[in-house]
Chain A
């Protein structure tokens, strides 16, 4: 009887495992190309609920829905660009992790280079100034004598 119970529990556990597995694995497209496209796109798109995660990383409900939407579009054979455009039309550029280059994002794209440029100019000017401020100060005869003496003491010891 005990044996039977154990077996029953074992079977139950296995069922449990297989059912959680069934939940984890997303329904695979027959088409591996489409699935790869979904994966590729969901890594480039932002989940709007948890804003610092990609769709691929996010477990938010909306992210799941959007992935499903992308999956269906991919199955229809839409191109990456067409799918991204579809989402941008609804959620704005914010949905993209790589913002497009346009007038409103110019500062974002060029800002770091502008800062680097300004920094280099600053560095150049400072170095030039410092070079100029270093002037040779020749020693007079007394000082030369003193230096010699000191060096001599050093040698003896």
Chain B
């Protein structure tokens, strides 16, 4: 009986590791930018490329930066959620149109609705690199001082909105 004990313990430890492994998402790369100031940008606006919009314009407000593109399939999934979030006026959402063409982006917004306070164009993806963007859509929660409080890679869901983003924004707004 005793000689089965050690293999059993080893087996259980392995099962434990595998079980933890099942619940990990390898796509979820922890962002080193959380807790750091959001990278600065001054980019042309999608609706009016003559005008530039800068992250500094949002100082003093808690806001979301949503990176999207018209070529991105998963962005379609989260778009209705963003639209209904924007309707509540709970938190301003700035869109960053990542490596996209203006015509297609405008068409996309015309079709799906425009939840964005402003959309800026990152045509060559340079600012995206500064934000560590690697899988569109991505959403950043940025606090009043311009510090990134949270980053979500991939489409936001009702669950992530309800459980993480909304409570976090409320907390930051109260600060």
| A91 and chain B: residue at smallest CB distance | B132
B contacts, CB < 8 Å to A: 26-27, 29-33, 99, 124-126, 129-132, 134-135
Give the distance to chain B from A105, nearest Cβ to Cβ, in Å. 13
> Which residues of A approach B to under 8 Å, CB–CB?
48-49, 51, 61-62, 65-66, 69, 88-94
Residues on the A chain within 8 Å of B29, using CB: 48, 91-92, 94
Contact assessment for B135 and A49 in the assembled complex, using a CB-CB cutoff below 8 Å = yes
Closest 9 pairs between A and B when the two form their complex, measured CB to CB: A48-B134, A90-B132, A92-B32, A94-B29, A91-B132, A65-B125, A62-B134, A92-B30, A49-B134
Closest to A52 in B: B26
The secondary structure that dominates the B interface is loop
Instruction: Pick the residue among B32, B124, B125 that contacts A89 (CB under 8 A).
Output: B32
Q: Which of A61, A89, A90 has the most CB of B within 10 A?
A: A90
- Interfacial chain A residues near B124, Cβ < 8 Å: 65
Q: Are B129 and A92 in contact (CB under 8 A)?
A: no
A69 pairs with B129, CB closer than 8 A: yes
Query: Is A91 a contact partner of B32 (Cβ separation < 8 A)?
Result: yes
CA distance A89 to B27 in the complex (A): 18
Sample (16) of A-B pairs whose CB atoms are under 8 Å apart = A48-B29, A48-B134, A49-B134, A49-B135, A61-B99, A62-B134, A65-B125, A65-B129, A89-B32, A90-B32, A90-B129, A90-B132, A91-B32, A91-B134, A92-B32, A93-B32
**CA of A45 to CA of B132, assembled, Å:** 14
Q: How far is the CA of A17 from the CA of B134 in the complex (A)?
A: 33
Given contacts A69-B126, A90-B132, A92-B32, 15 further A-B contacts (CB under 8 A): A49-B135, A61-B125, A65-B125, A65-B129, A66-B129, A69-B129, A90-B129, A90-B130, A91-B32, A91-B132, A91-B134, A92-B29, A92-B30, A93-B32, A94-B29
Chain B positions within 8 Å of A89 at CB level: 32-33
CA distance A69 to B127 in the complex (A): 12
